[in-house]
A and B are shown apart, each in its own frame.
Chain A
Amino acid sequence: MSEILKTRQALTGNEAFAYAMKQINPDVVAAYPITPATEIVQIFSKYVADGEVDTEFVAVESEHSAMSACIGASAAGARVMTGTSSQGLALMHEMLYIASALRLPIVLAEVNRALSAPINIHCDHSDTMGSRDSGWIQIYCENANEGYHSLIQAVKIAETVNLPVMVTLDGFIISHGMEVVETLDTDVVRQYLGKRKPMYNVLDYENPIMVGPLDLPDYYFEHKRQQIEAMRKAKAVIEEVITDYNKRFCFDFPVFAEAYRMEDAEYAILVMSSAAGTMKEAVDIMREKGEKVGLVRLKVFRPFPFEVLQELFKNVKAIGVMDRADSVNTMGGPVFNEVRSALYDLNSRPRIMNFVFGLGGRDFPLSDALYIINRVKELKEGKSLDFVEYVGVRE
């Protein structure tokens, strides 16, 4: 393997996202600012102003127009990226479904922030969870380094399977926190990505097509089934792209989920994004005490990697699934409900409960992490507990 030059830089999550975008050098970026993702657009605008990218930057007047312009540009064969959070993602909601159904490989840098009301600019997962059925691939990153590399991988994944991808980082916690990011050289990134080969192109006036027609009940189901098939195929594509990326550039990124001390685990925690850092520390403390506890950090939420989770949890007696969002359905959060459903048929029938934490940027200290592990231990020991517990809220 030839020498791949990596540069260690101190970057915040937003800077890492923006830097990756610069290296990717998309044809079009149509974006609107929103806290805490604003910086991505600002930093990128400076790259444009300094001529460091060839991107056509469209400073749209709303997020709905941002995704609309991204759709138009992507349908015209361009490589397109954007970024947003929270209300912005919610405002482009109808367009997310359209982007996916039109099979456009748009890549969105998402900074997780709670949805209003009350208006809150801090981290939770309600925004991207709110779009989990839109047909977008969703990759939740633990830290700025993973975010940088995942954004680059996302372009390749999107253009191979022809589905849009959102890569997320926790708002403020990661987006504004400075960490070490190992960046690749710009020409390495560009060579790795190559040129986009669009599935169709509305600029090809010699071979005109119509994009976005109306379907009556005699065709809609078939078109949806095709989209579902694409999301199924996405699993193999994601596996292939990340494995290849790791091999090429000497990295060790997990594909769908990161297993931490799961080899002999009797009970386990499932968590996503930055809270995994705190949870890993808590797992280490419990392991010191002789507890056989492990952790799974779920990274790819869409497509939902149920096969991987079934394998990881097949010998575990109890699982605590952590959610940084609640579905307001009296049954906890989205991750819990999907994990539980995925594991329902396991012969071992692990007991599974939900811990909702960190809503609206509520701090998640080590004490809460240890509390959760102890609760799951009680669950393993046969104690009868509720479906869901809210950790860190004042009663």
Chain B
Amino acid sequence: MKKKGWKELPEGGIIKNVPTSQELKTGSWRTQKPVWDPNKCTNCFLCWLYCPDSAIILKEVNGEPKVSGINYDYCKGCGVCAEVCPPKVKAIHMEKEEL
């Protein structure tokens, strides 16, 4: 991506039309990845709540949010989702990332 020169940038150093961070695919950071099992998931939303990278994908089904997967473009592989998934549910487990 070609970087803009001073004549093209917005003045005052502001960032417009936020958020704009999605261009950075932080998925390259991880060394392990979460695997989500839709059959076990009870849609408690704890993984969505605690994921630092907003990588738990929610979809709207009949006007209600439902967990529908993990966005591997951004997942840093921290494993918090697997940790907070209730012990009786265990719908997410971590696997080693294929480098």
Chain A residues close to B by CB (< 8 Å):
101-104, 162, 199-200, 207-213, 215, 218-219, 221-223, 225-226, 229-230
- The digit string for B1-22, where 1 denotes a CB below 8 A from any CB of A, is 0011110011111111110000
Partner of A101, one of B3, B5, B13, B16: B13
Partner of A213, one of B3, B4, B5, B13: B13
The reply to whether A226 and B6 form a contact with Cβ atoms under 8 Å apart is: yes
The reply to whether A225 and B6 form a contact with Cβ atoms under 8 Å apart is: yes
B residues 51-98 in Cβ contact with A at 8 Å: none
Closest approach, in angstroms, between the C-beta of A16 and any C-beta of chain B? 32
List chain B residues, Cβ under 8 A from A223.
6, 9, 13
Closest chain B residue to A212 by CB distance?
B13
Closest approach, in angstroms, between the C-beta of A202 and any C-beta of chain B? 9
List chain A residues, Cβ under 8 A from B13.
101-102, 211-213, 215, 223
B residues 29-60 in Cβ contact with A at 8 Å: none
User: A162 and B12 in contact (CB under 8 A), knowing A208-B18, A209-B18?
Assistant: yes
The reply to whether A210 and B3 form a contact with Cβ atoms under 8 Å apart is: no
Q: How far is the CA of A215 from the CA of B9 in the complex (A)?
A: 13
The reply to whether B14 and A209 form a contact with Cβ atoms under 8 Å apart is: yes
List chain B residues, Cβ under 8 A from A226.
6, 9, 11
List chain A residues, Cβ under 8 A from B18.
208-210
Closest chain B residue to A208 by CB distance?
B18
Q: How far is the CA of A211 from the CA of B5 in the complex (A)?
A: 19
Scoring A200, A222, A225 by chain B CB atoms within 10 A of each residue's CB, the highest score goes to A222
Closest chain B residue to A200 by CB distance?
B14
**Number of residue pairs spanning A and B whose beta carbons lie under 8 angstroms apart:** 50
Tell me the interface secondary structure of chain B in the complex. Answer: loop
User: A210 and B15 in contact (CB under 8 A), knowing A218-B3, A219-B3, A222-B4?
Assistant: yes
The reply to whether A162 and B11 form a contact with Cβ atoms under 8 Å apart is: yes
The reply to whether A229 and B12 form a contact with Cβ atoms under 8 Å apart is: no
The reply to whether B12 and A211 form a contact with Cβ atoms under 8 Å apart is: yes
Q: How far is the CA of A288 from the CA of B16 in the complex (A)?
A: 64
List chain B residues, Cβ under 8 A from A102.
12-13
Q: How far is the CA of A104 from the CA of B6 in the complex (A)?
A: 18
User: A199 and B12 in contact (CB under 8 A), knowing A208-B18, A209-B18, A210-B18?
Assistant: yes
Q: How far is the CA of A152 from the CA of B47 in the complex (A)?
A: 57
Closest approach, in angstroms, between the C-beta of B1 and any C-beta of chain A? 11
Closest chain B residue to A218 by CB distance?
B3
Q: How far is the CA of A249 from the CA of B5 in the complex (A)?
A: 42
The reply to whether A199 and B3 form a contact with Cβ atoms under 8 Å apart is: no
List chain B residues, Cβ under 8 A from A213.
13-15
Contacts A103-B12, A213-B15 aside, 4 further interface pairs with beta carbons under 8 A come to A200-B14, A215-B13, A222-B9, A223-B6
The reply to whether B11 and A103 form a contact with Cβ atoms under 8 Å apart is: yes
List chain B residues, Cβ under 8 A from A219.
3, 9
Closest approach, in angstroms, between the C-beta of A176 and any C-beta of chain B? 37
Partner of A210, one of B4, B6, B11, B14: B14
The reply to whether B4 and A211 form a contact with Cβ atoms under 8 Å apart is: no
Closest approach, in angstroms, between the C-beta of B25 and any C-beta of chain A? 18
List chain A residues, Cβ under 8 A from B12.
101-104, 162, 199-200, 211
Closest chain B residue to A210 by CB distance?
B15
Q: How far is the CA of A225 from the CA of B17 in the complex (A)?
A: 23
Closest approach, in angstroms, between the C-beta of A74 and any C-beta of chain B? 11
List chain A residues, Cβ under 8 A from B11.
103, 162, 199, 226, 230
**Can you sample 29 A-B contacts with CB below 8 Å?**
A101-B13, A102-B12, A102-B13, A103-B11, A104-B12, A162-B12, A200-B10, A200-B12, A200-B14, A207-B16, A208-B18, A209-B15, A209-B16, A209-B17, A210-B14, A210-B15, A211-B13, A212-B13, A218-B3, A219-B3, A219-B9, A221-B6, A222-B4, A222-B5, A222-B6, A223-B9, A226-B6, A226-B9, A229-B6
List chain B residues, Cβ under 8 A from A210.
14-15, 18
List chain B residues, Cβ under 8 A from A215.
13
Q: How far is the CA of A188 from the CA of B6 in the complex (A)?
A: 39
Closest approach, in angstroms, between the C-beta of A159 and any C-beta of chain B? 14
Closest approach, in angstroms, between the C-beta of A109 and any C-beta of chain B? 24
Closest approach, in angstroms, between the C-beta of A183 and any C-beta of chain B? 34
